[in-house]
């Protein structure tokens, strides 16, 4: 999924890992994306091919490495950079899993019945995956569904937490590299990615400026739910897949940790 460090992973692997069994003049054995598309769901496997060469047609030759981010920080990342996701939102209220006065003010709620529907199911979101578009009930449901396919899959795959890659890059990359039969290029000199791993040329407009900024952002526990309202946090806690959260050691935050004034102060269209 986008906003999870996919480019960072590729940069680390391309700089530090060799895949001797797959080395050739045209193939380094480490691909930027899986054959069914970098951000596409696993259900697209075998149905579409992002690359046209014959080598990508044998899907058994590929080991998917799936980056995953704590869903609470992922939803906030999505507010900053939506990629192909589309839903009714304003930065005055995002993440917005269910509507509040902000959404009403901006016309995202049609009437009382519509509000009841949104409060029950969440604010719907669509994500465009070439060539189709998928609709999800809400942001948390999108995280559940996309990653649920990989958790339930029968094919070999690796699922890597973004936070582990950020904090333990060398050990994580070493294990990934060894897992597919590779080896480190230099056992004593590990190449750290200190600048942004995203390129504006690839469509990344709001990219993280570098490693230090990212470490400050993602290692501060208060940032994890910083932009949530109490109602949105309670809703997310109910919707997120508890089994996956437990397997990933992502805790369910308490709404008592919030300091966001939106949970008590009514919205007014003001710059204050």
> Hey, where are the domains in the chain?
6-250
For the segment 40-62, the average pLDDT, to the nearest whole number, is 87
Q: Per-residue pLDDT for 262 more than 70?
A: no
Strand duo 85-86 + 125-129: pairing: antiparallel
Least confident of 24-38, 146-160, 172-186, 211-225: 211-225
Using 50, 70 and 90 to split pLDDT, how confident is the model at 205?
A: very low
8 A C-beta contact, residue 97 and residue 122: yes
Q: What is the pLDDT of residue 271?
A: 38
For the segment 224-236, the average pLDDT, to the nearest whole number, is 94
The SS3 of residue 170 is helix
Using 50, 70 and 90 to split pLDDT, how confident is the model at 220?
A: confident
Q: Per-residue pLDDT for 202 more than 50?
A: no
For the segment 11-22, the average pLDDT, to the nearest whole number, is 93
Higher pLDDT, 240 or 219: 240
Q: Per-residue pLDDT for 208 more than 60?
A: no
Q: Per-residue pLDDT for 260 more than 70?
A: no
Using 50, 70 and 90 to split pLDDT, how confident is the model at 25?
A: low
CA distance 134 to 127: 5
The SS3 of residue 257 is helix
Q: What is the pLDDT of residue 210?
A: 64
Using 50, 70 and 90 to split pLDDT, how confident is the model at 53?
A: confident
Find the radius of gyration of the CA atoms of the chain: 20
Least confident of 123-137, 144-158, 179-193, 252-266: 252-266
Least confident of 57-66, 237-246, 260-269: 260-269
Q: What is the pLDDT of residue 57?
A: 82
CA distance 213 to 98: 30
For the segment 144-150, the average pLDDT, to the nearest whole number, is 98
C-alpha distances in Å from residue 126, one per residue of 97, 115, 205: 13, 19, 20
Higher pLDDT, 135 or 195: 135
Using 50, 70 and 90 to split pLDDT, how confident is the model at 39?
A: very high
Point out which residues pair with 18 in neighbouring strands. Answer: 183
Please name the residues in contact with 111: beta carbons below 8 A apart, sequence gap of 6 or more: none
For the segment 88-111, the average pLDDT, to the nearest whole number, is 96
Q: Per-residue pLDDT for 265 more than 60?
A: no
Average pLDDT of the residues of the chain: 88
Claim: this prediction has a pTM higher than 0.85:
yes
Closest CA to 192 of 2, 55, 59, 11: 11
Q: Per-residue pLDDT for 72 more than 50?
A: yes
- Dihedral sign of CA atoms 149, 134, 57, 204 in order: negative
């Amino acid at each position: 999924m986008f906003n999870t460090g996919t480019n960072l992973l590729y940069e680390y692997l391309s700089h530090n890992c060799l895949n001797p069994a797959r080395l050739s003049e045209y193939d380094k054995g480490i691909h930027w994306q899986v054959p069914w598309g970098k951000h596409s769901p696993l259900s697209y496997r075998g149905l579409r091919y992002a690359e046209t060469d014959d080598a990508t047609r044998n899907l058994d030759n590929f080991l998917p490495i799936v980056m995953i981010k704590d869903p609470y920080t992922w939803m906030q990342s999505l507010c900053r950079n939506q990629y192909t996701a589309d839903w009714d939102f304003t930065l005055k209220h995002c993440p917005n899993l269910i509507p509040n006065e902000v959404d009403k003010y901006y016309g995202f709620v049609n009437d009382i019945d519509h509000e009841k529907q949104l409060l029950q199911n969440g604010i719907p979101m669509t994500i465009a995956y070439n060539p189709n578009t998928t609709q999800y009930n809400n942001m948390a449901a999108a995280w559940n569904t996309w990653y649920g396919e990989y958790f339930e899959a029968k094919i070999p795959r690796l699922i890597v937490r973004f936070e582990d890659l950020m904090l333990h890059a060398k050990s994580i990359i070493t294990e990934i590299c060894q897992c597919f039969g590779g080896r480190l290029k230099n056992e004593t000199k590990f190449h750290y990615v200190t600048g942004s791993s995203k390129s504006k040329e690839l469509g990344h407009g709001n990219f993280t400026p570098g490693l230090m900024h990212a470490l400050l952002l993602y290692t501060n526990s208060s940032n994890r739910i910083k932009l949530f309202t109490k109602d949105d946090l309670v809703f997310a806690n109910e919707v997120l897949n508890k089994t996956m959260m437990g397997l990933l050691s992502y805790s369910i935050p308490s709404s008592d940790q919030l300091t966001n004034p939106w949970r008590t102060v009514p919205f007014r269209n003001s710059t204050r």
